[in-house]
């Protein structure tokens, strides 16, 4: 079902299945239905799938109003426009008002590639993580996306879905049991914990293999939900390994590194290195080029793991 499928295609398929049974679900786009994969829903559900044009703040306000009447809107745009641009509407009309709206931000971080710096949000998690009541979820692959949607609908409150649109390496199979609020331990280890999210999970798994060849045992944890963070998983792992690397397709300020560090500094201090964008704006380039430029490669993860292991001695 999931092999060689784009993540956005799985999103659309699952929404289609649920919309056929649940008339509360509506989809609102801001001129990006084709990019987000939801274009086909308009023809099938003309009364529940809308396009408001390039007017993201209006999209968020319309969604908040519809949620007031019991609908569950899914709204979507590229990550900068689904976070920065609509921040005030999300904070006041949705989160403060406790409206049940789901926000899809696509092409996060460097995955925006040739769309360039204006369409490349390195700070969307940081922007939205500071809003009370927000849940922030970044699926690692099409399987996790497919299995998450019903739980996201069942959760009564705003959820931000940070979606890589295209084909992602499959980390899970169809037997995977998803829990929105529990991180996934993908590989157990004793020397260092590598917390990763989104496209960086595959890089972390590759790094684990290289570290193993040198006799270093790395624990790999997929943190698909950055807020609320699974503190139990963080503390259980770090109390064992005593060394931490975080890997994220985001500014190292305000995202996964910040969330993990906030827990550790109070409850389990440990040496930490952060792999991610080091406080830069984006630019037009391929993901491979940007990974190298921003220090987000497998080799960078391996180097960081060795550094924190040395620091704990």
CATH number at residue 125: 3.40.50.970
Domain end, chosen from 163, 193, 220, is at 163
Residue 1 has pLDDT above 80, yes or no: no
Q: Judge if 151 and 57 occupy the same domain.
A: yes
Work out the average pLDDT over 155-159. Answer: 98
pLDDT value at position 4? 84
Interstrand relation of 184-187 and 218-222 (parallel, antiparallel or unpaired): antiparallel
Tell me: pLDDT of 214 over 90.
yes
Report, as an integer, the average pLDDT of 49-72: 97
Dihedral over Cα of 43, 45, 46, 48: its sign: negative
For residue 70, give every residue at least 6 positions away whose Cβ sits within 8 Å of its Cβ, in sequence order, or none: 24
The winner for highest mean pLDDT among 111-115, 163-167, 192-196 is 192-196
Place of tokens 């204006």: 118
Confidence of residue 313 (pLDDT cuts 50, 70, 90): confident
Q: Are residues 206 and 239 part of one domain?
A: yes
- Residues 159 and 22 reside in one and the same domain: yes
- Residue 126 has which token pair? 């940081």
Residue 138 resides in a domain: yes
Q: Which of 36-45, 75-84, 94-103, 225-234 has the lowest mean pLDDT?
A: 36-45
Shared domain check, 225 and 112: no
Average pLDDT (60-89) is 97
pLDDT band at residue 34 using 50, 70 and 90 as cut-offs: confident
Number of helices and strands in the chain (H, E): 12, 12
pTM: 0.96
Pair (48, 102) in one structural domain: yes
Are residues 51 and 31 in contact, defined by beta-carbon separation less than 8 angstroms?
yes
Domain boundary among 163, 194, 211: 163
Q: Looking at the domain assignment, is residue 116 inside a domain?
A: yes
Q: What is the pLDDT of residue 3?
A: 83
Q: Within this chain, do residues 307 and 234 fall inside the same structural domain, yes or no?
A: yes
Task: Compute CA 301 distance to the chain's CA centroid, rounded to the nearest angstrom.
Answer: 19
Does residue 61 sit within a domain? yes
What is the mean pLDDT of the segment spanning 128-154? 98
Do residue 242 and residue 276 come from a single domain? yes
Q: Is residue 179 part of a domain?
A: no
Same domain, 87 and 212: no
Using only C-alpha atoms, the chain has a radius of gyration, in whole angstroms, of: 19
Same domain, 114 and 145: yes
Q: What is the mean pLDDT of the chain?
A: 97
Q: Please check whether residue 174 lies inside any domain of the structure.
A: no
Are 45 and 139 within one domain? yes
Task: Count the domains in the chain.
Answer: 2
Q: What is the pLDDT of residues 250-302, one digit of tens each?
A: 999 999 999 999 999 999 999 999 999 999 999 999 999 999 999 999 999 99
What's the pLDDT at 2?
84
In a domain, 128, yes or no: yes
Lowest mean pLDDT: which of 109-118, 123-132, 179-188? 109-118
Would you say residue 178 lies in a domain? Answer: no
Rounded CA-CA distance 267/306 in Å is 23
Cis peptide before 60 (omega within 30 of 0): no
Q: Is residue 96 part of a domain?
A: yes
User: 260 and 133, same structural domain?
Assistant: no
Claim to verify: residue 267 and residue 201 sit in the same structural domain: yes
CATH, residue 278: 3.40.50.920
Q: Which domain holds residue 84?
A: 7-163
């Amino acid at each position: 079902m999931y092999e060689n499928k784009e993540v956005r295609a799985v999103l659309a398929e699952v929404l289609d299945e649920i919309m056929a049974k649940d008339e509360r679900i509506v989809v609102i786009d801001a001129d990006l239905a084709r990019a987000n994969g939801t274009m086909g829903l308009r023809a099938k559900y003309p009364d529940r799938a809308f396009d408001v044009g390039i007017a993201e703040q209006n999209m968020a306000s319309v969604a908040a109003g519809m949620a007031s009447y019991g609908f569950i809107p899914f709204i979507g745009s590229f990550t900068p426009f689904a976070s920065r641009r609509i921040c005030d509407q999300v904070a006041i009309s949705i989160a403060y008002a406790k409206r049940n709206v789901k926000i899809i931000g696509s092409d996060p971080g460097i995955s925006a590639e040739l769309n360039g710096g204006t369409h490349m949000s390195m700070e969307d998690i940081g922007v939205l993580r500071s809003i009370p009541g927000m849940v922030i979820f970044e699926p690692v692959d099409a399987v996790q996306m497919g299995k998450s949607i019903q739980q996201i609908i069942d959760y009564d409150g705003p959820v931000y879905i940070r979606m890589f649109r295209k084909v992602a390496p499959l980390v899970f199979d169809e037997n995977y049991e998803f829990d929105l609020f529990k991180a996934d331990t993908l590989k157990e280890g004793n020397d260092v914990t590598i917390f990763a999210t989104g496209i960086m999970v595959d890089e972390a798994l590759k790094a684990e293999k290289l570290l193993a060849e040198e006799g270093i045992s790395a624990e790999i944890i997929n943190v698909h939900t950055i807020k609320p963070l699974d503190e139990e998983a963080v503390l259980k792992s770090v109390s064992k390994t005593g060394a931490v690397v975080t890997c994220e397709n985001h500014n190292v300020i305000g995202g996964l590194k910040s969330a993990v560090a906030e827990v550790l500094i109070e409850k389990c201090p440990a040496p930490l290195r952060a792999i991610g964008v080091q406080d830069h704006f984006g630019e037009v380039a391929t993901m491979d080029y940007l990974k190298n430029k921003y220090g987000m490669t497998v080799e960078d993860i391996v180097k960081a793991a060795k550094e924190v292991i040395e620091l704990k001695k």
